[in-house]
Structure 1
């Protein structure tokens, strides 16, 4: 089994990388780069899985009880917890921004559909609605 100190260093590295990815996600959301947001979400998911896996390995480590008494161990654990807390706050902010963007998109889409429907909706011979933007433009009077 890997040394506990190595696992903790790996965990610190992964949590810092997750924080960086969340900051990239925030910039992508504000710039409305949907393709970038999608690739960032995949990277974020991979990192979260890796962090969970490492956390389980740390919890199952046979030297955990002995090393939990050391100051260096406590410092690393505190660092990981602080970074993860920052990640949670930033992730929540990003989620709220995405929800607002989605609501804005939905409202815009509804407005476009409503305005399109008012322009030239008629009925065809089968009784079905038909939209024509040339309604009334071919009248010669």
Structure 2
């Protein structure tokens, strides 16, 4: 027995609603700097996105797929789902930017700590990240 198009739309609604809640949870974990929780959210998010892609594929190949545009109620549901997916995408982008800022702050703090340990031992990598070098010219064999 195949799944009806209405059931697929309902499943997609559940998936997107769950993703919205998970993104809010991820945002809170980022603000509170709880790395374990951020990782857990990322894993759950990946699983949910896979489910969303699967249901989307099932909708695209469904025998009654044309009803999504022709039936007014179904078209309205699809529109609401697209709006929800857009909200999830923008929230995910905000979370990504917040994570990037947190990572940058961590690198700056790490650089400050390295500088305080001894400026004479500090060099920069090709990526522009500071690193301590104990040998700094003392390991020459010439």
TM-score by length of 1: 0.82
Q: Which residue of 1 aligns with 2:96?
A: 95
Q: How does 1:34-49 map to 2 (within 5 A)?
A: 34-49=35-50
Q: Distance in 1 between matches of 2:22 and 2:55?
A: 18
Q: Which residue of 2 aligns with 1:16?
A: 17
Q: RMSD of aligned C-alpha atoms?
A: 2.1
Q: Distance in 2 between matches of 1:66 and 1:33?
A: 45
Q: CA offsets per residue over residues 33-76 of structure 1, 9 Å max, x none?
A: 00000000000000001000100000000011135311110121
Closer, same or farther: CA 67–32 of 1 in aligned 2, 3 Å: closer
Q: Distance in 2 between matches of 1:27 and 1:66?
A: 39
1:78 Cα deviation (Å)?
Answer: 1.1
Q: How does 1:88-127 map to 2 (within 5 A)?
A: 88-118=89-119, 127=138
Question: Runs in 1 of length 4+ with deviation above 2 angstroms?
Answer: none
Q: Which residue of 2 aligns with 1:139?
A: none
Structure 1 unaligned spans of 5+: 129-141
Matched, 1:60 2:61: yes
Q: Distance in 2 between matches of 1:115 and 1:36?
A: 31
Aligned length: 125
Structure 2 unaligned spans of 5+: 122-133
Higher relative contact order (Cα pairs below 8 Å, separated by 6+ residues): 1
Q: Which residue of 2 aligns with 1:77?
A: 78
Match of 2:66, SS state, is helix
Q: Distance in 2 between matches of 1:22 and 1:65?
A: 32
